[in-house]
A and B are shown apart, each in its own frame.
Chain A
Amino acid sequence: MINDAHIIEQVISGNTNEFGQLVDKYQQIVFKTCLGFVHDHEDANDLSQEVFIKAFQNLSTFNKQSSFSTWLYRIAVNTSLNSLRQRRDGFFQRLGNWASPEKSGAIEISSEYYGNPEEIFISGEMEQLVAKELSKLSENQQTAFVLSKYDQLPQKEIAQIMGLSEGAVESLIQRAKANLVKKISGYLKKS
């Protein structure tokens, strides 16, 4: 089993190639976290790269009060949220929103799914809708939802990453789900 503390000491003392072991161990979870925020395969890969480079550059500030994975999750969350903020506040993004306002088209749901909602087939349109409504959640709700659903972390670990109580995390997750259900069901139209 790879000992993170030993690898970190090696890297800090100058053996930078050892950092590759940490990348091997954590790249998938960092990728999933970033994907939960940006919902794009290439963007998630780019963000994951940024996360690991930040982790490397700040490795000497890791104070071992938490586990390395918790620390890395925090960097991944902050990097992803910064990326989303830049997109939202970007000049060309605002210009695009002004030029082509959001469409509010309904999603048709076949009557065969009434009574059998779990059988529903997911279209690209539905994927875009979920991504859009997820990004509209508050940052805390979005973070709690991503760490719970995409990373499948227990609430205790999510609480450590977010610096909140477990009760607060539970509340955030429930509110995130309630908001998503409310928004998405508003788009549904029976065919």
Chain B
Amino acid sequence: MNCKECHKKVEVFVKGSLPEDELRLVREHLLECRSCNDAFVALAIVEKVVAKEQQLNVNPFLKTRIMANINSLPLTQPNEAFQLARNWKLHPVLVAASVIVTIFLGVAAGNLIAPINNQDPIPEELTYLNDAILESLPVLMID
């Protein structure tokens, strides 16, 4: 077995899945070839370190810490109505509806304000009177 063939089998070898006859050939080569043996050792080290770390478990109190943190956060979670408004599929409908409502309210508000006209219509005869030529009241009251 040469180095190239040996390197192809390194991962399977480290996992212990090589058939017996191939295993024997690989071991024979490793005893002769320092370079291939170092490569096998290096990969074995990596695999074993990873396997060792994989056995570690999460802190059992992690969930408690997370939920305590979450419950102390300010209330910034959007409620469902706001979420619906943010949904891009509803935006055009909401915009159109708000424009129509705004126009309607504007017209209604305008009609509610009555014109400033609080006087009864003046009789036509009185419009011909000229105040300037009428005698003043005190003169009329002199005996």
Contacts and interface: CB of A to CB of B under 8 A. Distances in A.
Contacts of B35: 185
Contacts of A114: 30-31, 37
B66 interface: yes
B3 interface: no
A181 B66 contact: no
Nearest to B26: A115
B70 to A, nearest CB: 5
A163 interface: no
Interface stretch (B51-59, B101-109, B114-122, B126-134): B51-59
Given A17-B67, A115-B31, A118-B13, A39 B83 contact: no
A115 B30 contact: yes
Interface size range on A against B: 35 or more
B interface SS class = helix
Nearest to B11: A177
Contact of B77 (A16, A28, A184): A16
A23 interface: yes
B42 interface: yes
B63 A120 contact: no
A117 B44 contact: yes
Interface string B48-75: 1110111011110011011101110100
Contacts of A158: none
Contacts of B73: 53, 56-57
A56 B13 contact: no
A17 B63 CA distance: 11
Contacts of B49: 122, 126-127, 130-131
A53 B69 CA distance: 8
Interface stretch (A7-15, A77-85, A90-98): A7-15
B37 A118 contact: no
A43 to B, nearest CB: 11
Interface of A: 11-14, 16-17, 19-20, 23-24, 27-28, 30-32, 35-36, 39, 41, 44-45, 48-49, 52-53, 56-57, 59-60, 109, 113-118, 120, 122, 126-127, 129-131, 149-150, 177, 180-182, 184-185, 188, 190
Given A122-B48, A150-B50, 6 more contacts: A27-B63, A36-B53, A117-B41, A122-B49, A184-B46, A185-B39
